[in-house]
Chains A and B, each alone.
Chain A
Amino acid sequence: MLPLDINALGPLTTVLITLGIGFGFGFALEQAGFGDSRKLAAQFYLHEMRVLKVMFTGIITAMLLTFWGVALGWINFELIYVNPTHLGSGILGGLIFGVGFIIGGYCPGTALVAAITLKMDGLVFVLGALFGAFVFAEIVPGFRRFYDAGGDRLTLPDWLNLPAGVVVFLVMLMAMFMFWGAEKLEKAFARPGSPGWVDEGADS
């Protein structure tokens, strides 16, 4: 029975689990305020670090649960899909993604969240993203070699040659430092209405 294998549950159960996870993810994004492009874009101006805090919290929670599952023998880590590492195309794609994010105020997932709540900017962003995906699909044969370069399954423990448990601890420390730093940045770059803003005249 252990380690757990989702494929052994049958296709219908797998779909239902996936739907449940997707629903939970979208719900959490909306509740975190990620359906509002102003909150998302504020990340880049450093006066509201909500995106970093929420996403990184999700990451470290999932990381801790996953690796505890592996440590207890409940999860086979080799069955977990790890995106292949394509460093060059990842860096360039990340840069392009960042430009689009700050211009549009959304990433594709949060744009869907906004679109489903009938925000016009979210709807337009989704259409733009779909068009961009279409254009990419048409032109990618021209730079396929660059796009596919790399492609190994590479994890931090492999790269650092450290035990997975140690890497989890180091990532956790990094996350705590980033959360602390995010709060400092919010205070330093605060503007009226942002989380770090202190209205010094409020008590007078």
Chain B
Amino acid sequence: MTLGWKTIGALIAVLGSLLLAVVGMPGNDAMLSRMDADLSAELITRAPHVDPAEVLDLMYDDGQQIFMIDVRTEQDYNQFHLLDVRWQPVQSLDVAQCRKLPVGAVKIVMSNDEAAAELAWKKMRAAGLLNVYVLAGGVNVWLDLYKEHCVIPVHQTPITPGGDDVLRHTFERAQGGHHHASLPDRGHVGDREFERKVELTRPSPAVGGGCG
């Protein structure tokens, strides 16, 4: 029996798609393993680390959608967190839910210092999410800057990478997002000199579609 080219083409297509159904798409862990070296190199450059002042500026920017994701423990989150932040502990980070966030929105991940946030950042980047950044210095530096109404000379506070990701600040009672440092006054943006790093990446929209 000779097969025509149409039949051969159809068989190749069906078998190719059947094999794809069996093989499946790579999971987040597989993508993370493949991309880990490149992602680690990117973190070393500090390009994804956004200064707290820039994050504060974005929180007031009505023209830019921002989603903040707190990956700390529930206890630390309850002690203090930024206003309107979403809580997703890093161990159970749901990247499928994160994928539903608007592509053009800025996503800021934060932990007490940076370690857990960087792991969450890697997971989200491996899942293909765009415009994901890490809060430089984490919640600890945020509180260094804004907890005491900026009594300390904020422009002199360096942001040192690293740390053991333990909350250094204590609170008399858990205040969650009701602390004044949860949303400091916008005027404090100008207290620091910092390099703006947020640069939106969007998939290039196609012009037209189908047969035009």
Contacts and interface: CB of A to CB of B under 8 A. Distances in A.
Interface of A: 1-3, 6-7, 29, 34, 51, 55, 60-61, 64, 67-68, 70-71, 73, 76-83, 107-112, 153, 163-166, 168-169, 171-173, 175-176, 179
9 contacts: A70-B25, A79-B130, A79-B203, A83-B209, A107-B210, A108-B211, A163-B25, A165-B23, A165-B24
Contact of B13 (A82, A109, A172): A172
Given A67-B25, A108-B212, A169 B20 contact: yes
Contacts of A164: 24-25
Interface of B: 10, 13-14, 16-18, 20-26, 30-31, 34-35, 38, 99, 103, 127-130, 201, 203-206, 208-212
B208 A169 contact: no
A168 B212 contact: no
Contacts, number: 99
B128 A78 contact: yes
Given A76-B128, A107-B211, A172-B13, A81 B204 contact: yes
A68 B21 CA distance: 10
A69 to B, nearest CB: 11
Contacts of B130: 78-79
A170 to B, nearest CB: 9
Given A108-B212, A163-B25, 20 more contacts: A3-B35, A55-B210, A71-B20, A71-B23, A78-B99, A78-B103, A108-B208, A108-B211, A109-B208, A109-B212, A112-B212, A153-B103, A163-B24, A164-B24, A165-B21, A165-B22, A165-B25, A169-B18, A169-B20, A176-B14
Contacts of A73: 26, 30-31, 34
Contacts of A7: 201, 204
A46 to B, nearest CB: 18
B103 A83 contact: no
B19 to A, nearest CB: 9
A112 B212 CA distance: 9
Q: Which of the listed residues A29, A111, A165, A175 has the most CB atoms from chain B within 10 Å of its own CB?
A: A165
Contacts of B14: 169, 172-173, 176
Nearest to A179: B10
